[in-house]
Amino acid sequence: MTDTIPPRRPLTLRDVSEAAGVSEMTVSRVLRNRGDVSAATRERVLEKAREMGYVPNKIAGALASSRVNLVAVVIPSISNMVFPDVMGGISSALEDTPLQPVVGLTSYKPEKEEQVLYEMLSWRPSGMIVAGLEHTEASRAMLAVSGVPVIEIMDTDGEPVDCCVGISHRSAAQDMADAIVDAGYRRIGFVGTALGMDHRARKRFEGFVAQLGKRGLELEDREFYEGGSGMAKGRELTEVLLKRSPDLDFIYYSNDIVGAGGMLYCIEKGYDIPNKLGLAGFNGVDILGGQPMRLATIDSCRAEIGKLAAGLVLSRMDTSKASELVKLSPKLDRGDTMREPL
């Protein structure tokens, strides 16, 4: 037992090499399980390194080897309920690989995203997983010339820089519109986020309205909100909407959380669901499983998207490959709040 004084300066390979009486190179080999090192020296080095509390400097390592085992994940928000699931998928796919995910947040702001992308790229990660297809010109350019695999996720409605894994939010909403009309609902309202910052929510709204149009219907009323989604928002806005347009027979929500709030309100007020009033959300989140009724929804395949995206990064780590587009097609779940087709 040597007396160890907590070092002001972090320990270097050299410190360990001196303590163990071998070259820095040998220590480096032992610590990375590379090349042939005799069992004896190996033991001795490991022992010393542990005893001294040596933590290698990955910055120096990365500079020397130009290898960085980080995957940058750039998402708008962590409290959105959809992104934790995506992260879960990414983490699980990266488990048991040398890669580690590192998250950057953009708050749905394109300029913020540009900054975060720049920052992330400047660390030369092994891959970039970025939510969405909408970026500033500068962001697209950076990604395009970065030389690392770029996977845009969640959405497939647009032009990816490189690879893309997601669902079409436009067709998800179209499917929902069709199912609503097919079930005989005719006076349809909408509750959702104020359009703009969330492109996927916007595409769902647009796809929904467009498909209603094709079926000869117009949205009868709508109510938008700003800021985060919560059940309270769904409750309030549903009340506003139904007071103003009491003849609605369906409400489509931009996500399950506000939808659940609206659903609770409607149940409480004694609406006859799904006969006189149908309800649907989007995402397929299961934290809400305990509700009195199951809200109709379309799964956004979050975990699977994360998993596939991470898989793409792994598969293109050292080889450059052609771009890939993976489009998932979730099916609609009517739950208890929507009639079957007539």
How far CA 262 is from CA of 256, 286, 289, in Å, comes to: 10, 17, 15
Map residue 190 onto helix, strand or coil: strand
Task: State yes or no: residue 242 binds a second copy (CB under 8 A).
Answer: no
Q: Which does 292 bind (CB under 5 to 8 A by kind): a second copy, DNA, none?
A: a second copy
Candidate residues 240, 287, 315, 327; the one interacting with a second copy per rule CB under 8 A? 287
Residues in contact with DNA, total (CB under 7 A)?
A: 32
Task: State yes or no: residue 10 binds a second copy (CB under 8 A).
Answer: yes
Q: Which does 41 bind (CB under 5 to 8 A by kind): a second copy, DNA, none?
A: DNA
Candidate residues 40, 145, 322, 342; the one interacting with DNA per rule CB under 7 A? 40
Q: Which stretch binds DNA (CB under 7 A): 31-39, 219-227, 297-305, 322-330?
A: 31-39
Pairing of strands 332-333, 297-298: antiparallel
Site string for DNA, 265-284 (x = CB under 7 A): --------------------
The token pair that represents 219 in the structure block: 């949205």
Nearest distance from residue 175's CB to a second copy, in Å?
26
What is the C-alpha separation between 298 and 282, in angstroms, rounded?
A: 5
Nearest distance from residue 183's CB to a second copy, in Å?
25
Q: Which stretch binds a second copy (CB under 8 A): 80-88, 183-191, 308-316, 322-330?
A: 80-88
Contact indicator for 180, 216 with CB cutoff of 8 Å: no
If the CB atoms of residues 216 and 290 are measured against a second copy, the closer one turns out to be: 290
Candidate residues 25, 232, 240, 325; the one interacting with a second copy per rule CB under 8 A? 232
What residues from 54 to 113 belong to the interface with DNA (CB under 7 A)? Answer: 56-57, 60-61, 63-67
Nearest distance from residue 252's CB to a second copy, in Å?
17
Task: State yes or no: residue 59 binds a second copy (CB under 8 A).
Answer: yes
> Per residue, what are the HEC states of 101-156?
EEEEECCCCHHHHHHHHHHHHCCCCCEEEEECCCCCHHHHHHHHHCCCCEEEEEEC
Nearest distance from residue 48's CB to DNA, in Å?
13
Contact indicator for 126, 319 with CB cutoff of 8 Å: no
What is the C-alpha separation between 13 and 42, in angstroms, rounded?
A: 14
Beta carbons within 8 Å of 321's beta carbon, 6+ residues apart: 315
Contact indicator for 212, 244 with CB cutoff of 8 Å: no
Task: State yes or no: residue 270 binds a second copy (CB under 8 A).
Answer: no
Pairing of strands 150-155, 325-328: unpaired
Which amino acid is residue 32, in one-letter code?
A: R
What is the C-alpha separation between 74 and 199, in angstroms, rounded?
A: 15
Task: State yes or no: residue 331 binds DNA (CB under 7 A).
Answer: no
If the CB atoms of residues 25 and 287 are measured against a second copy, the closer one turns out to be: 287
Task: State yes or no: residue 110 binds a second copy (CB under 8 A).
Answer: no
Task: State yes or no: residue 26 binds DNA (CB under 7 A).
Answer: yes
What is the C-alpha separation between 305 and 185, in angstroms, rounded?
A: 32
Residues in contact with a second copy, total (CB under 8 A)?
A: 64
Alpha helix locations (H) across the chain? Answer: 13-20, 24-32, 39-52, 58-65, 83-94, 110-121, 137-145, 169-182, 199-214, 231-244, 256-268, 302-315
Q: Which does 79 bind (CB under 5 to 8 A by kind): a second copy, DNA, none?
A: a second copy
Task: State yes or no: residue 12 binds DNA (CB under 7 A).
Answer: yes
- Residues within the interface to a second copy (CB under 8 A): 6-10, 53, 55-60, 62-63, 68, 78-79, 83-85, 87-88, 91, 100-105, 116, 118-119, 121-124, 141-142, 144-147, 228-236, 257, 260-261, 264-265, 268, 286-292
